[in-house]
Amino acid sequence: MRDRGGNDLPERPEGRNEADASQETFFEEVLADDSEGRDASGGERRRPSLRRRTRRWAVVLLVLVVVLTAGAVGAEYLVRSQIDSAVRSALPGLSSDARIATKGIVLRQLVGGSLDSLSVDSKSLDVTSKGQGGATVTLSDVDVDLSRIRLRSPYPTDTVTASGTVGWKQVIALAARDHPRMQGMTLQAKRTGTSAQEPGAIQASASLLGMSGEAEIVPSVGDDGSLVLTITSTRMGGDPVGGDVSTGESSLLSYVGLDSPEIRIPADSLPQGLRPTSAIVTNDGLRLSLAGNQVNLGQL
């Protein structure tokens, strides 16, 4: 029995070693698989977490962009409203419904201290003339374009081009400053014009010694910037009168105090800094085009 036991004892440890080895191998494989599974599941958990953080940053950046954009838009509107107020302050004669428009982004332009351009569309504009005691001239259906405008008083601007209509009664009032008797005349369009070269014609009517008198007048602009109304023909009591009518005591020209067939409205009767470039006959009055350089809007 001692020999059998002695033979048996070495065999058991050897069997246990093989089993133990196989068990250790098995557990190592299981642990390895579990570790890989944990690593894989951890990687999968890390990837969604990374995506969530990326989405959060994208949302934050989007919010910042929206806030900054809204702030820039708000500042742009604020500056535009200040420009509107400045223009109305410079031109208090503008009608209340006047439209004031700018081009481009004004914030960028104001960095240089001026606006690149500005346009004004107004039903009317009251301006004070330079001469004749500072009388007011009213222009209707006004369009104004300006370039490089500074927004501090006196609001200087590089160039101004404007157009507006002076009504017939106002034309009579301007002409009557030098020829008071013209207050008794009435004006209306005889032939509407299309351009400075084809300005049309005005029909002037008056009553002279119980007789009706009429004259045809063609408008133009003089070299000195004055508005010139040239009488081209007259008619008394329905009969045409020759070219020497200005010398007759009972002539229409004599009645209105003219010694020449030209009626001149001086440039200083028009808005300061602006000179007429054309005068065209319309049904509502004379349509004037005006232009000026280095004009102070606050002095119009």
pLDDT digits 0-9 by tens, 198-238: 999 999 988 766 667 788 999 999 988 889 999 888 877 65
pLDDT of amino acid 237: 67
In this structure, the dihedral spanned by the alpha carbons of residues 139, 145, 151 and 156, taken in order and rounded to 10 degrees, is: -80
**Quick one: average pLDDT of 127-138?**
69
Q: What is the pLDDT of residues 93-127, one digit of tens each?
A: 899 889 998 888 777 787 777 888 999 999 999 88
Distance of CA 280 to the CA centre of its chain: 26
pLDDT of amino acid 207: 76
pLDDT of amino acid 143: 95
Query: Would strands 262-265 and 239-241 be described as parallel, antiparallel, or unpaired?
Result: unpaired
Quick check: helix, strand or coil at residue 178? coil
Q: What is the pLDDT of residues 46-87, one digit of tens each?
A: 556 766 666 666 655 655 555 445 555 566 667 777 788 888
Q: Closest Cα to residue 271, out of 93, 115, 147?
A: 93
pLDDT of amino acid 284: 96
Higher-scoring residue by pLDDT: 184, 132: 184
pLDDT of amino acid 245: 45
d(CA 21, CA 12): 14
DSSP-based helix, strand, coil % in the chain, nearest 5:
40, 35, 25
Q: Judge if pTM exceeds 0.85.
A: no
d(CA 222, CA 44): 89
- Out of 17-31, 87-101, 135-149, 283-297, pick the least confident: 17-31
Give a three-class secondary structure readout of 71-103.
Answer: HHHHHHHHHHHHHHHHHHHHCCCECCCCEEEEC
d(CA 98, CA 84): 10
Please give the structure tokens belonging to residue 272: 């300061």
Higher-scoring residue by pLDDT: 169, 132: 169
Q: What is the pLDDT of residues 229-275, one digit of tens each?
A: 998 888 776 555 544 444 455 566 776 667 778 888 888 777 778 88
Q: Can you list the alpha helix ranges (DSSP code H) found in the chain?
A: 2-90, 106-110, 168-175, 252-255
Q: Closest Cα to residue 220, out of 244, 204, 201, 192?
A: 201
Sequence-ordered list of residues with C-beta below 8 angstroms from that of 98, at least 6 positions apart, any chain: 88, 120, 121, 122, 123
Q: How many CB atoms lie within 10 A of CB 178?
A: 15
**Quick one: average pLDDT of 162-178?**
91
pLDDT of amino acid 35: 47
